[in-house]
Structure 1
Amino acid sequence: MQVRKWLVCPGRADIVRLMTNLDQDICYQALKTKDARFDGRFFTAVTSTGVFCRTICPATVPKRANCVFYPSAAAAMNAGYRPCLRCRPETAPGSPAWKGVSTTVNRALKLINEGALDEGGVEELASRLGIGERYLRRLFLDHLGASPKAVAQTRRLLFAKKLVTESHLPLTEIAFAAGFGSIRRFNDAFVKLYKRAPRDLRRETLTEVPANEGTISLKLSYRPPYDWDRIIGFLAARAITGLEAVSDGRYHRAIQLEEKTGLVSVKHDPQRHQLIAEFSLPDITLLRPAIDRIRRLFDLDTDIGEITSQLGKDPHLSPLIKAYPGLRVPGAWDLFELSVRAVLGQQITVAAAATFAKRIVSHFGTSLDIGDRHGITHTFPSPEILAKADLTSIGLTQRRSDTINGLARAFAEDQLKLEEAGDLADIHDRLCQLKGIGPWTAQYIALRALKEPDAFPESDLGLIRAIPNGEERICPKDLLAMAENWRPWRAYAAQLLWSADPGGPELKKNRTSGQTDKNDEG
């Protein structure tokens, strides 16, 4: 098979520049080690076979002369290569979300995963991001080596391949879950790429016993190391009774997408560097966005080695990185839900905030008719409900109740448009326009719900306590100046400091979780 080599492709100056930046010789050295920490950072295309692989592929390492390296699976497929059936590129962790200006790309990928290009076009996607179509295309070429449409098509195919080989779902359901408009389009695209029909590939590869009846169990890979115990401890300390639970080392929660409800349970498989997520969903088309949200919640696509190599140069953070290898920044299932949690956490303990959140869910959430499933009974209430709710009835102060009502109205009326924000400063400014929301709350929402890697709530008491400063506490201004050395990964520095906080929730339940900034009312 004659495969076009991307480096010499005429008329593609942007791609040539990208591939120059992706050092081919360094990639080959990483390939030879089969180190899982490089999994998903680049893909190896083999010109002699026409196949592209992950760095951990068990096949014999090809000769250097036969290798071309690409920054994404979409770029490799766009160049004419097909995915390896042994190492399964569809199971690799996603591209890092913190490369330069690629926060916009990360938001675009999130929207693509939710089906933005299944029916709409690139121009509409760019408009939702608040940028021009031409600039969006250029960002995708710079960071992923392929156009938005090529990335969307690649994700559809790789996701479909994952369901074919990991689930017993009917092929018709897989076609629609992956975003194909018809079974014919799905079959045609699949055969063109894999040179065999989905049914034949399933017969060759699917050997595992089906998951529990009515559930879909999928494997979600990450780059090691991964500190599961700290992540699950962080979520357990903040779990909202009735909505989510942590038991026997597993995380469970009710989920809601497009006004449809379901359940998800997640456990850790450290030997294979993956989480196993079990979904119970009423509509198979919700599966793809549900997986994307779980990956963000557990921060599975972070290249933690790259981050810690820089943060480890700081004398305050170096011992913490050694103490907590693989520590990630927990995300959030839903932007609005996390925003309400952040307001509840202003200047009170983690336990108290969780108690108020429990009351909000039990009083205003939607009851689930699912029987006894890990104590999960409700979904989180919608912005429309909380915009009108009398939250003083559950013990909140009038001021805090007014803040949440105003926040809910802003979401219900789509005033904030946070996912269209240009950068962290823009997110901060949009949130701080709301009464009762100041810098701490805005930064915390950006850090967890929007996955901004450089968000940093410098007035957080836990961060201040974690920095030794003699008999006095360091002031927020000095902490912010110190954090300049941690850019662009201050969010990960914050997570390390929270873990080292002597009053943290994993060590002491009455930790004051809030901030000292007076602009955050509470």
Structure 2
Amino acid sequence: MMRDPTTTELPDLQTCEQARLSRDARFDGLFFTAVTSTGIYCRPVCPAPPPRRENISYYANAAAAEAAGFRPCLRCRPELAPRNDVLRRGDSSVARALRMIDAGMLDEHSLADMARHLALSDRQLRRLFVARLGATPMQVHSTRRLLFAKQLLGETALPITQIALASGFRSLRRFNAAFQSAYQFAPRTLRKRPGAGADKVLLLRLGYRPPYDFAALLDFLRARALPGLEHVDDMSYARVIGSAERPAWLRVNACGDGDHALRLALHGVAPADLQDVVTRARRMFDLDADPHAIAAVLVRDRTLRPLLRRHPGLRLPGAWDGFELAARAVLGQ
């Protein structure tokens, strides 16, 4: 059993091993298990029989696993894992760079352009990423695009050309080549089965780490819903996200059946906007939070300890964008 020396955000090895063997969903996305005998990497919740310990390497993120030459598991689907969002918070160069990658900076600009925005050289930026994440900025960017494409291929009936565009590729040829090179099979291999229905409404799963109090989040949003823009009931949140010229909407509700995920329904969203909409929805519903780490801090306080036991899984509600969040804060006072 090995631990990659460049990844510094991993839980300790004993914790990784216990979480892997027990399939502990609280650690989903906080590390990935790579199997040297198969060349596959998995989420800690993978239902497949546990590999032998001597064939295991642990990685803190999917990009590091893919940079080491491993391919995502088709059974547990690493693209569905919640992200480890710790590094994206704060004002460090890595945090700012990750937020820029999420915003699509490298879709339109070079790594050198992004480094200049951060007052760094591209060599310095690569060195920081490898030290903190075990992967370069371009590898993080590539993994993000390909895993999103993999989810669209598996969960929707969108044409592959549109999936390529939604994933940030400017041509189908480049998308096919990148996908084949990274995963050793063609995108059409994952194509949603025929007869699944037209994609007038796209349905995507948004994973989270339990516990997650979705009802409490809906209560918060319902009390602050913007008339004509948002509608919140006991089961779901819906909002308009388009314009008069290009109407579009989304709805978020629980998946149920013990699945640690929300279901995102989208209508009228242009393929090029899909990844941004999914990122905003994840942020709004605080889906990448680590409740285990939060509870470990709050439980130290004598006043908060009983509240934590009575209300597990509370999350920090977000807003669609910064302006909306600021407006709500002012009006709420």
TM-score by length of 1: 0.59
Which residue is equivalent to 2:169?
180
Q: Which moved more, 1:307-316 or 1:290-299?
A: 307-316
- Aligned residues, how many? 330
Indicate which of 333, 341, 364 corresponds to 2:320.
333
Which residue is equivalent to 1:223?
209
- The alpha-carbon distance between structure 1 residues 338 and 261, as it changes in their structure 2 partners (threshold 3 A), is farther
Indicate which of 181, 184, 193 corresponds to 2:182.
193
Which residue is equivalent to 1:419?
none
Q: What one-letter code is carried by the residue in structure 2 that aligns with 1:97?
A: V
CA distance in 2, matches of 1:32, 1:317: 32
Q: What one-letter code is carried by the residue in structure 1 that aligns with 2:176?
A: N
CA distance in 2, matches of 1:195, 1:125: 30
Which residue is equivalent to 1:302?
289
Q: Does 1:57 align with 2:46?
A: yes
TM-score by length of 2: 0.91
Q: Secondary structure at the match of 2:250?
A: strand
The Cα of 1:266 is off from its aligned counterpart by: 0.5
- The alpha-carbon distance between structure 1 residues 103 and 306, as it changes in their structure 2 partners (threshold 3 A), is farther
The Cα of 1:24 is off from its aligned counterpart by: 2.9
* Match runs of 1:202-221 below 5 Å: 202=191, 206=193, 209-210=196-197, 214-221=200-207
Rg larger in structure: 1
Check the 8 A contact 2:87/2:94 in 1, yes or no. Answer: no
The Cα of 1:281 is off from its aligned counterpart by: 2.8
Q: Does 1:151 align with 2:140?
A: yes
CA distance in 2, matches of 1:76, 1:17: 11
CA distance in 1, matches of 2:246, 2:124: 35
CA distance in 2, matches of 1:216, 1:106: 31
Partner deviation per Cα, 1:344-394 (whole Å, 9 max, x = no partner): 23xxxxxxxxxxxxxxxxxxxxxxxxxxxxxxxxxxxxxxxxxxxxxxxxx
Check the 8 A contact 1:30/1:55 in 2, yes or no. Answer: yes
- The alpha-carbon distance between structure 1 residues 170 and 99, as it changes in their structure 2 partners (threshold 3 A), is closer
- The alpha-carbon distance between structure 1 residues 160 and 102, as it changes in their structure 2 partners (threshold 3 A), is farther
CA distance in 1, matches of 2:108, 2:186: 25
Partner deviation per Cα, 1:40-86 (whole Å, 9 max, x = no partner): 00001000111000001011111111100001000000000011110
Indicate which of 34, 44, 60 corresponds to 1:45.
34
- The alpha-carbon distance between structure 1 residues 168 and 62, as it changes in their structure 2 partners (threshold 3 A), is same
Q: What one-letter code is carried by the residue in structure 1 that aligns with 2:26?
A: R
CA distance in 2, matches of 1:18, 1:74: 11
Check the 8 A contact 1:190/1:196 in 2, yes or no. Answer: yes
Which residue is equivalent to 1:88?
77
Higher relative CO (Cα under 8 Å, sequence separation at least 6) belongs to 2
Indicate which of 260, 263, 276 corresponds to 1:289.
276
Q: Secondary structure at the match of 2:75?
A: coil
The Cα of 1:252 is off from its aligned counterpart by: 0.5
Q: Does 1:79 align with 2:68?
A: yes
- Structure 1 residues not aligned, in runs of 5+: 8-15, 346-513, 515-522
Which residue is equivalent to 2:250?
264
Indicate which of 223, 246, 250 corresponds to 1:237.
223
Q: What one-letter code is carried by the residue in structure 1 that aligns with 2:175?
A: F
The Cα of 1:134 is off from its aligned counterpart by: 5.0
- The alpha-carbon distance between structure 1 residues 168 and 146, as it changes in their structure 2 partners (threshold 3 A), is same
Partner deviation per Cα, 1:378-416 (whole Å, 9 max, x = no partner): xxxxxxxxxxxxxxxxxxxxxxxxxxxxxxxxxxxxxxx
Q: Which moved more, 1:61-70 or 1:184-193?
A: 184-193
Q: What one-letter code is carried by the residue in structure 2 that aligns with 1:167?
A: T
Q: What one-letter code is carried by the residue in structure 2 that aligns with 1:298?
A: F
CA distance in 2, matches of 1:265, 1:60: 36
Check the 8 A contact 1:34/1:56 in 2, yes or no. Answer: yes
- The alpha-carbon distance between structure 1 residues 76 and 321, as it changes in their structure 2 partners (threshold 3 A), is same
CA distance in 1, matches of 2:142, 2:8: 22
Q: Secondary structure at the match of 1:278?
A: strand
Q: Does 1:33 align with 2:19?
A: no
Partner deviation per Cα, 1:5-42 (whole Å, 9 max, x = no partner): 884xxxxxxxx253596533431221111011100000
The Cα of 1:102 is off from its aligned counterpart by: 7.2
The Cα of 1:106 is off from its aligned counterpart by: 4.5
Q: What one-letter code is carried by the residue in structure 1 that aligns with 2:85?
A: P
Check the 8 A contact 1:311/1:318 in 2, yes or no. Answer: yes
Q: What one-letter code is carried by the residue in structure 2 that aligns with 1:41?
A: L
The Cα of 1:142 is off from its aligned counterpart by: 3.8
Q: Does 1:253 align with 2:239?
A: yes
Q: Secondary structure at the match of 1:301?
A: coil
The percentage of counterpart residues that share the same residue type is 47
Q: Secondary structure at the match of 2:302?
A: coil
* Match runs of 1:122-133 below 5 Å: 122-129=111-118, 133=122
Check the 8 A contact 1:24/1:68 in 2, yes or no. Answer: no
CA distance in 1, matches of 2:125, 2:20: 31
- The alpha-carbon distance between structure 1 residues 101 and 241, as it changes in their structure 2 partners (threshold 3 A), is closer
- Structure 2 residues not aligned, in runs of 5+: none
- The alpha-carbon distance between structure 1 residues 109 and 216, as it changes in their structure 2 partners (threshold 3 A), is farther
CA distance in 1, matches of 2:129, 2:90: 11
CA distance in 2, matches of 1:110, 1:102: 10
